[in-house]
Amino acid sequence: MAWLRGRWSIENLFKYASEHNGIDSIASYLMDIGPDERRVNNPERRKLHTDVRSAESTLAAAERALGRQSDAWVSDMDEHLTAMRTLRDDVTIAKDQLDEARQILKGVPAKVLATELDPSVKQAKLRIERRGLQMVCRLLAFNAEAWLAEHFNAYLSDPDEHRAIMRNLLHLPGSFSYERKAITVTLDRPDSPRVARALEMLVEEFNNGISVYLIGDRRALIYRLAQAA
């Protein structure tokens, strides 16, 4: 049960992170154009495969002809022996040709660089450092939202809907008051009394916890919830 619960948590994480934070989408389409370094099928080996299959077919046909001649009704023994010697020679030649085709095939690689076939071919590659930074920022946003929803649910006690409610509260309107030593953020009160109570307790937890600052500003952020009308 613990393993199943862990698997459900992982699947749920990827579901929400993809749906709301877009970790599976690409926001930056800037590319670097360079030589195509992919390994592709070698057309020369494909041609040699065709030669091997042709040699196998030739050998099979010669062996069938030899078998038919061996089982045929004979009226002239000399002609029969001459035909048998000729067909045996055909089988020997076909075997030699097949061995030669297989030996040639062994020395040819199945994959080659695309530039070996066409030196002018190019490939567009996503700039991995931009993609990596984008992914880190999205995962940080997801983790911050998950942490916030978990602390919010400590006061709401709604394990089924607390994520959706918190996601809606992220768009809650409000106002800013810039003072000398602090910046006060006053959030509008939600219509639901239980949501408003939980949010009020979460805001109190923020204000009594570690101080939060805007980048480049030394004034602490203080959160308030508007009083009921």
pLDDT in tens, 99-141: 999 999 988 898 988 888 888 888 888 777 777 888 888 888 8
- DSSP state, residue 141: H
Q: What is residue 194's predicted lDDT score, i.e. its pLDDT? A: 93
pLDDT in tens, 74-108: 778 888 888 888 989 999 999 999 999 999 998 88
pLDDT in tens, 176-207: 899 888 899 999 999 999 999 999 999 998 88
Cα gap 208→205, rounded to integer Å: 5
Name 40's Cβ contacts closer than 8 Å, sequence gap at least 6: 111, 112, 113, 114, 117
SS3 of 40-105: EECHHHHHHHHHHHHHHHHHHHHHHHHHHHHHCCCCCHHHHHHHHHHHHHHHHHHHHHHHHHHHHH
Domain ranges within the chain, ordered by starting residue: 43-108, 128-225
pTM over 0.75: no
Please check whether residue 189 is in contact with residue 196, taking contact to mean a CB–CB distance below 8 angstroms.
yes
pLDDT of 153 > 90? The answer is yes
Q: What is residue 229's predicted lDDT score, i.e. its pLDDT? A: 66
Please check whether residue 94 is in contact with residue 58, taking contact to mean a CB–CB distance below 8 angstroms.
yes
Can you say how many angstroms the Cα of residue 150 is from the centroid of all Cα atoms in its chain?
29
| Percentage above 90 pLDDT, the chain | 29
Encoded tokens for 141: 């946003």
C-alpha to C-alpha distances, 109 to 17, 43, 48, 55, 105, nearest whole angstrom = 43, 10, 11, 20, 8
